Structure 1
C-alpha cells in the first residue's frame, strides 16, 4: 500500500469517527468531538470544514457546535438494503458446515416471520418455509427477538400466561424474562422441544439491517441436536461474528 493510500484511508476513518461522534452527541463542539474521537482539535476543525462543504455536516449559525448534515439524510433515503441478499452467503456457509435447517427471521407487526430459509440435508428433519410464523415465547428465534426489546415491550408480547405448545413450553412470563436475561450473556437462545415435541433449535441475534432486527437459527430433531449442540453453538456464534466483522453492528 502506498503512503498516499494509507493517508487517504486514515482521513476517511477520521471523518467517519467525527460523523459517529456527532450522531451520538448532536451540537458537540470541536473540543468535545476531539475528546470523543481522540483526534487533535485542529484535525477535527479541518475535517468538519470539508464535511460541511459536502453537506455531510452543518454548523449552526452563531453557534460553535456541529450537527449531521441533510446530505446524509438524502443519501440514507436512497438506501434499499435486502437483508436476505446480504446474509444468504453466510447462511450457505453455515449450511455447508452443519447441514440442517436454517431460518432467518424478522419481527413485523409483533410477529416473527421466516424471510429466508435453507432446508436440512437430512431425511429426518425439522420442516420450515419462508412465511412461517414463529411464536415469540416458544421458539429460539422468537426468544432472540424478544431479547432485543426492553423488558416492558417483551412482557407485552409474551403476556402474563403464554400459550403452551408442549409440556416443556414456559408459560410464566416473568420466568421467560429471566431466561432471556441469562441467554443474553451467552448470546444463544434455545428451544428444547418447547414448540414441537422432538424438535430443538438454537438461535443468535444479528446486527440491525435497515433499522430492523434479525435472528438466525439452526433447527433439527432433538436427538441429533444433543449430539451436535456444541458444534451448533460454535457455528452460530462464528456466523454472528463474521457478519458483525463484515458489516458492523448495524447496517
Structure 2
C-alpha cells in the first residue's frame, strides 16, 4: 500500500509541476495551442488537454478567439492582485511596525485572512520580547486571537460562519467557543475599532489589534501588539490600544483610506 501511495503522491506533484509550466509557457508566448503545449511538456496531447482544462475550470487560462489556442485567464490577475495587495501592506507598514515595537517594547505582527485562519506576514520583536516566537508564515485560529477577530470583523455574519464554522475549538478556558458569542464580540470590535484577546490562544499571552484598511475601507489586514499577560494591566492595555489604533490609522492612510470615511 505504501508504494501505491507514494506513486500517487509523485504523480500529483508531477501534475502540479506541469500545470505551473503551462502557465509559464502562456506567460512567455501569449497564446499557445494544446499541441504546442504538449510538445514543450513532452507529454501526449490528451494529457496536455486535461491539464489545460483543469486550469481553465479555475479561470487561470482561457480559450482565445482563435479556436484551439489558450492564453492566461483573469484568475491569474486575481491571484496576482491578492499577492500584490499583501506586499503593499507589508511595505507600507514596515516602518510603523518597527516604530510601534520600539515604542511599546512588545512584539508587533501583521496578519491577513487566509484559508480560514489568520496568516502572519510580518513581525517585529520589541525590547521586552527577548525570545519572541516567530509567527511569520503561520496560520493562527481566527476566533482565539485579536488579529483573527479584527479580520473577522470585516465580514458579514454569514461570512464569519463560513470561515470558522459553528464548533469553535477551546485553546484555553478563556477561548470563546460559541458562534453566537463570537458574533457578539465582533459587534463590539466593529464599534470600538480594536480587539483585545487575553489568554485566549495560550496562557500568559495578551494581544491588542486594530484593522488595516484599503482605499475602499475594507479590512485587508490586522496590526497587533502582544506580550506577557502579567504586564497588561488596565493602564498598559489602554496605552497599547491608543498606540495600535494610531499606527493602524497611519498605515491605512498610506494604503489610501481616509479616516473620515465610514467603514
TM-score band w.r.t. shorter chain? 0.5 to 0.7
Which of 221, 224, 229 is equivalent to 1:222? Answer: 229
| Structure 1 residue ranges (4+ consecutive) displaced by more than 6 angstroms after TM superposition | 209-212
Output the CA distance in 1 between the equivalents of 2:224 and 2:94: 13
The separation in 2 between residues aligned to 1:123 and 1:207, in whole angstroms, is 27
State the alpha-carbon separation in 1 of the partners of residues 165 and 176 from structure 2: 12
| Stretch deviating more after TM superposition (180-189 or 152-161) | 152-161
**Could you tell me whether the CA contact under 8 Å between 2:154 and 2:219 is conserved in 1?**
no
In 2, Cα distance between equivalents of 1:228 and 1:151: 31
Q: Is this contact kept in 2: 1:100–1:125, CA < 8 A? A: no
Separation in structure 2 between the aligned mates of residue 187 and residue 126 of structure 1, nearest angstrom: 26
Instruction: Check if 1:234 corresponds to 2:242.
Output: yes
1:153 to 138, 159, 164: 159
Query: For residue 102 of structure 2, what is the aligned residue in structure 1?
Result: 96
Q: Report the Cα offset of residue 223 of structure 1.
A: 1.0
Consecutive unaligned residues of structure 2, counting only runs of 5 or more, are 1-76, 259-263
The separation in 2 between residues aligned to 1:123 and 1:146, in whole angstroms, is: 27
Partner of 1:245: 253
CA deviation vs aligned residue, 1:179-215 (integer Å, no higher than 9, x gap): 1001111111111101000111011110138988110
Question: Aligned match of 1:114 in 116, 120, 144?
Answer: 120
Structure 2 partner of 1:206:
212
Q: Please state how far the C-alpha of 1:115 moved relative to its aligned partner.
A: 0.5
Deviates more, 1:133-142 or 1:224-233: 224-233
**CA spacing shift, 1:158–1:129, aligned 2, 3 Å:** closer
Q: Equivalent residue for 1:143?
A: 149
Pairwise CA RMSD of aligned residues? Answer: 2.6
Cα distance in 2 between the residues matched to 1:123 and 1:84: 21
Instruction: Look up the match of 1:18.
Output: none
Q: Secondary structure at the match of 1:165?
A: coil
Residue 111 of structure 1, CA deviation: 2.4
Q: Is the contact made by 1:140 and 1:189 (CA closer than 8 Å) also made in structure 2?
A: yes
Alpha-carbon shift at residue 109 of structure 1 (Å)? 2.6
1:243: Cα distance to partner?
2.0
1:195 and 1:87 mapped to 2: Cα distance?
25
How far residue 230 of structure 1 moved from its aligned partner, in angstroms, is: 1.0
Unmatched segments (≥5 aa) in structure 1: 1-72
What is the TM-score normalised by the length of structure 1?
A: 0.63
- The 8 Å contact of residues 208 and 214 in structure 1, kept in 2 or not, is answered as no
User: 3-state SS of the aligned residue for 1:206?
Assistant: strand
Which of 166, 174, 181 is matched with 1:175 structurally? 181
